Structure 1
C-alpha cells in the first residue's frame, strides 16, 4: 500500500513522532495564558491549543473540519458506534462537520493531554487539488471522516513554524498563509488524507454530501426531507442515504437532530436565553419535545444545563 501511495505522490508517514519540544512550547504558552480544560485560541487564525490535566467525561460535541496534532496523552471519539483514538504522535484529520461524543482518557497534572488543532479550509483543499497530480486510490482503501495517522517530520515542522507565529505577530500576514497552505498540502498527500482527496474532487460523492452538510449547518431551522437533501446532492434518495451514512456514520434525519441539539446547547450555555426561544431558534415547534430530546441526548434538562453554565 505504501508503494502504491508513493507512486501517486502520497508521502510515506513515519512511525509516531511525539515532539517533546513542541509540547513544551505549547505548555508554556498555556501556562502564560491560563489555558486549561478547553480549546484556547493562540492568536494565529484557526489555530487553537487544548490542555487537559485529567480525564474527562464522555460528552456530545460537534467537530468541524480540522487537523488535531496530539503531542501528549490520549483522547477517544465516537462517530456513531465507531471509536477513533487520538494518540500522541498522531495527526487526526477531521474532514467534515460531524456530531460526535468524545473524552480525554489519558491525562494528569504532571503529564496533561496536549494538542494543537488547526481549522481546515475546504476551499483551499480544492484549490490545491487542482494543482496536484490526480491520486488514484486503491479500491479497498477506506476514507473516513475522522482519520488518525502517524505524522512525519515535515508536518510537525510546519505546525511548529505556525505555532511560532504566536510570538511574532508582525510575521503573520506573510508567513501564516504560506504555512497553512503547506499544512493542507501535506495532509492531502498523507496516506490517511483519503477523505480530503475525495473532497478536493468537486463532483465526488463526498463533495456532494459535504454540500448537503453545509446546507443543514447553514439553516438548522428548516425541516428538510430526505428527498430534498437527495436532490441537493444530485442523487436518488436510496443512493443518498447510503452515501450519507457511509460518510457520517449516521442517517440524515439523525444528523439534523444531533446538530440542532448541539447548536441549542451552545446557545443556552453562552447566552442564557429562555429555553422556548432556543427551541424555536433551532427549528423545534414544541418546547416540550425539545426538552425531552435534549435531556435524552445530554442527560440533563436544557434549563438545568443553562443554569449550570
Structure 2
C-alpha cells in the first residue's frame, strides 16, 4: 500500500459518514462525500485542503480552481467561494483533510526557517492557490492523521507533525502566500484587515475611504490589492457576505425573506430578491425549499 492509499484508508475509517468531521487535533478536519455535490456557497477561512481521494472545484469570482490528490488548495484569507465535489462515489468517496492555518504557528516557524521577512513588501496574489502534493508532505500528513488513532500522543506529537506540514507548505510554490499570512504588515495582511472590518460591518453602508483607512492603505491601493486577492471589490465582497448571511437566517432562523434582507442591510425587498436570485440561482423561498429538500451537500472543503 502506497502512502496515498494508506492516507485514504485512514481518513475513510476515521470519517465513515458524509460531512465535515472535527477531530481531536486542533484545527484538523476530515471531510467525506459519497457522491458529487451541488455548488455550495460558503465563506472559506484560511486553511490548506488536501484531497486524498476524489476531486473538487472551487470558484472565486470568475476563477475556477480544480484540485484532486495531486494538488492541494491553500486559502490565505476569508473568501466567499462556491465549492463543488465533482468526483465521488460509494466505492471511492471524496476524502479531504483540512488544516486551518494559525498565523501564530506560521510566524514562529518562519522565525526559524525564514527570518529575513522578505515577503512583507510583495504584492499579494489570489487568496486561493494550488500547489503540487509531494511525498514529503504526504508523509507528514499521514503521521498527523495517524495520531487520531492514539489520542494520548496528540498533545505532544501533533504540534511537531503540524510544524513539519507547514514547513513543507512554505517550501512549495505557494509558500509566499503563507509567509504573508504571518507578516503583520504584508499587503495580504492589510487586505485581511479590510476583510475583517467588512465582516464586522457587513450590514452597514460604507465607502472605500473608510475601509482603506482600516487597512492602512490608500483607496486606490486597497481596491487593486483587494481585487487581486478576492477577485472582487470590497462592495462586492460585502454583498456576498450579506446574501450568505440572509440565506442562513432564512434557513436556520425561519425568517421570511423581507426580514432577512432587512437584517443584513437591505432597505429594498425587491433589490434583495433580485440580488439573491442572481447569486443563488433562485428566489429566496424556492432556494431554501431546495436546500431543505437535501439537494445541496454541506461539504465545504
* Deviation of the 1:193 alpha carbon: 1.8
Q: TM-score, normalised by structure 2?
A: 0.85
1:113 counterpart = 2:94:
yes
Assess if the C-alpha contact under 8 Å between 1:144 and 1:194 holds in 2: no
Distance 2:179 2:165 in 1: 14
Aligned-pair CA distance for 1:295: 2.0
CA contact (8 A) 1:18 1:72 kept: no
Q: Could you say which residue in structure 2 is the equivalent of 1:169? A: 151
**Structure 2 counterpart of 1:212:** 194
Instruction: Name the residue aligned to 2:296.
Output: none
Q: Distance in 1 between matches of 2:166 and 2:253?
A: 34
Question: In structure 1, what is the equivalent of residue 132 of structure 2?
Answer: 150
- C-alpha separation between the residues in 2 aligned to 1:40 and 1:272? 26
Return the alpha-carbon distance in structure 2 between the equivalents of residues 142 and 224 of structure 1: 24
Displacement of 1:135: 6.3
Cα contact 1:75–1:106 (8 A) shared by 2: yes
Deviations 1:139-165 (A, max 9, x none): 999843211111223322222222223
8 A Cα contact 1:23 1:71, kept in partner: yes
What is the alpha-carbon distance in structure 2 between the residues aligned to residue 271 and residue 168 of structure 1?
39
Task: State whether structure 2 residue 177 is matched by structure 1 residue 195.
Answer: yes
Conserved 8 A contact 1:18-1:88:
no
Answering whether residue 230 of structure 2 is matched by residue 248 of structure 1, we say yes
Kept in 2, the 8 Å contact 1:268–1:278? The answer is yes
For residue 294 of structure 1, the aligned residue among 251, 257, 276 is 276
1:185 aligns with 2:167: yes
2:65 to 84, 105, 108: 84
User: 1:51-88, CA deviations, whole angstroms, 9 ceiling, x for partnerless residues?
Assistant: 22222223322211111111111111121112211121
State the alpha-carbon separation in 1 of the partners of residues 175 and 15 from structure 2. Answer: 29
Match of 2:25 in 1: 44
Tell me by how many angstroms 1:225 deviates: 1.4
Unaligned 5+ segments in structure 2 are 293-301
Aligned partner of residue 50 in structure 2, secondary structure = strand
Hey, what does 1:233 align to over in structure 2? 215
Q: What RMSD in Å do the two structures reach over aligned CA positions?
A: 2.6
The 3 A distance-change label for structure 1 pair 178 and 267 is farther
Unaligned runs of 5+ in 1: 1-16
3-state SS in 1 of match to 2:15: helix
Deviations 1:179-214, CA, capped at 9 Å, x for gaps: 333323332232222211223322121110011112
Contact 2:69/2:133, CA 8 A, preserved across alignment: no
Alignment correspondent of 1:13: none
Query: Which of the numbers 71, 74, 97 marks the counterpart of 2:55?
Result: 74
Query: Corresponding residue for 1:8?
Result: none
1:100 paired residue number: 81
Offset at residue 18 of structure 1 (A): 6.8
Give 2:13's match in structure 1, choosing from 20, 25, 28: 28
Q: What's 1:54 paired with? A: 35
- Give the match for residue 6 of structure 1: none
- Look up the match of 1:280: 262
Normalised TM-score (structure 1): 0.83
What pairs with 1:258-273 in structure 2 (closer than 5 Å)? 258-273=240-255
